């Protein structure tokens, strides 16, 4: 008895791995629409062109000033607009921050990230943050901060302190943005990224998925990132962690395959960027995280807390790396 097997359509791959800044929405939408095995194949192909697929860059994130933020970001427990029960705190002392950095280095982190819940930093507070950056650099670690909006002069001051990366996420698509945040515009975020780039600081910019957006908004977010004048050197992709007291506390959970697709499309469109598997990992199985690494993620936050939300602890991550035959990326 003969069996007729339908011929598999030939999929013409684009020029994979090329550095492009002219991605159209139609092209990005087409990547999201690929069958998952094809999308994963393309993403892994690109990943291997630029990185060792076994290596994962490990960062630690510390909240150096928590709560009381005047912004109304619908996902954030630190907003003064939301009753999340979080108590606001003052800016940490420099030596306490450096003690945390030393502890992070001792557990294998190579980049130390510091976040402050501000709309934008005051100049006197910026000087304190610059002292923290200088101390982190003296430990032989890369430094990253996220402080809100920056003026050109503030970005230059951070560069003089030795800052390696500045994080300022686009969060979502230009169209969906105002449904999540009203106290600053999408354009404000682009202005800060321009100030950071112009100062010669590496850009860390990504977004959050699972905030109730449509699939087209994930297309729009990746297109906005991939068409910046320079691709962000680091692209964190976060899964929303719903927090009691915030407007997005009851949002419908995003399918993990949609999250994995977002990682893969980020890898293809921004081939030389570090793509970070960020918030939401605690609720992901080892199998989902492994698929994210296969899709091109090669960076994680390491440690049991991300600002105010929980995260897998170091032992869990090291055990997963061992099972997958993966290793922390050298500093």
- The yes-or-no answer on residue 69 being catalytic is yes
- The yes-or-no answer on residue 292 being catalytic is no
- Placement of tokens 């939300």 in the chain: 309
Q: Please give the structure tokens belonging to residue 273.
A: 């960027």
Are the CB atoms for 91 and 62 separated by under 8 Å? no
- Find all residues with CB under 8 Å of 38, minimum gap 6, and list them: 11
What are the φ and ψ backbone dihedral angles of 276, each rounded to 5 degrees?
A: -100, 125
- Placement of tokens 């807390």 in the chain: 305
- The single residue of 111, 113, 184, 189 carrying the catalytic annotation is 113
- Residues, the chain: 331
- The single residue of 204, 261, 281, 292 carrying the catalytic annotation is 204
Distance (Å, whole) CA 76 – CA 40: 31
- The single residue of 8, 20, 29, 76 carrying the catalytic annotation is 76
Are the CB atoms for 202 and 234 separated by under 8 Å? yes
DSSP 257-299: HHHHHHHHHHHHHSTTSEEEE-TTGGGS-HHHHHHHHHTT--E
- The yes-or-no answer on residue 73 being catalytic is yes
Are the CB atoms for 43 and 264 separated by under 8 Å? yes
Task: Give the β-pairing of 309-310 and 305-306.
Answer: antiparallel
- The yes-or-no answer on residue 130 being catalytic is no
- The single residue of 69, 184, 189, 218 carrying the catalytic annotation is 69
DSSP 148-176: S---HHHHHHHHHTT--EEE---BS-TTT
Distance (Å, whole) CA 123 – CA 48: 43
- The single residue of 111, 130, 144, 218 carrying the catalytic annotation is 144
Residue 305 forms beta bridges with which residues?
A: 310
Q: How far is CA 98 from CA 108, 188, 323, in A?
A: 15, 31, 32
- The yes-or-no answer on residue 113 being catalytic is yes
Distance (Å, whole) CA 34 – CA 38: 6
- The single residue of 218, 276, 281, 292 carrying the catalytic annotation is 276
DSSP 84-102: --PPP-PPPPHHHHHHHHH
- The yes-or-no answer on residue 76 being catalytic is yes
- The yes-or-no answer on residue 144 being catalytic is yes
Catalytic residues: 69, 73, 76, 113, 144, 204, 276
């Amino acid at each position: 008895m003969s069996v007729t097997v339908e011929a598999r359509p030939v999929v013409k791959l684009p020029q994979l791995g090329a550095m492009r800044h002219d991605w159209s929405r139609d092209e990005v939408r087409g990547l999201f629409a690929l069958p998952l095995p094809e999308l994963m194949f393309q993403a892994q192909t690109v990943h291997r062109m630029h990185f060792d697929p076994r290596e994962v860059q490990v960062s630690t994130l510390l909240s150096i000033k928590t709560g009381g933020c005047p912004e109304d970001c619908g996902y954030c427990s630190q907003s003064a607009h939301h009753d999340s029960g979080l108590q606001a705190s003052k800016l940490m002392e420099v030596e306490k921050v450096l003690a945390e950095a030393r502890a992070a280095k001792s557990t294998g982190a190579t980049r130390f990230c510091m976040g402050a819940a501000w709309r934008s930093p005051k100049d006197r507070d910026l000087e304190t943050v610059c002292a923290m950056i200088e101390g982190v650099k003296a430990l032989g670690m890369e430094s990253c901060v996220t402080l809100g909006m920056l003026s050109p002069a503030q970005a230059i001051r951070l560069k003089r302190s030795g800052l390696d990366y500045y994080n300022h996420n686009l969060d979502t698509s230009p169209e969906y943005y105002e449904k999540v945040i009203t106290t600053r515009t999408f354009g404000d975020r682009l202005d800060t990224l321009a100030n950071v780039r112009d100062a010669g600081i590496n850009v860390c910019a990504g977004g959050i998925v699972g905030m109730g957006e449509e699939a087209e908004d994930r297309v729009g977010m990746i297109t906005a990132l991939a068409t910046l004048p320079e691709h962000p050197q680091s692209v964190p992709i976060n899964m929303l962690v719903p927090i009691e007291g915030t407007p997005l506390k009851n949002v419908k959970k995003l399918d993990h395959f949609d999250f994995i697709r977002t990682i893969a499309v980020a890898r293809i469109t921004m081939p030389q960027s570090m793509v970070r598997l960020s918030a939401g990992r605690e609720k992901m199985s080892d199998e989902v995280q492994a698929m994210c690494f296969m899709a091109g993620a090669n960076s994680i936050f390491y440690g049991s807390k991300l600002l105010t939300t929980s995260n897998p602890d170091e032992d869990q991550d090291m055990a997963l790396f061992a099972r997958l035959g993966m290793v922390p990326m050298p500093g």
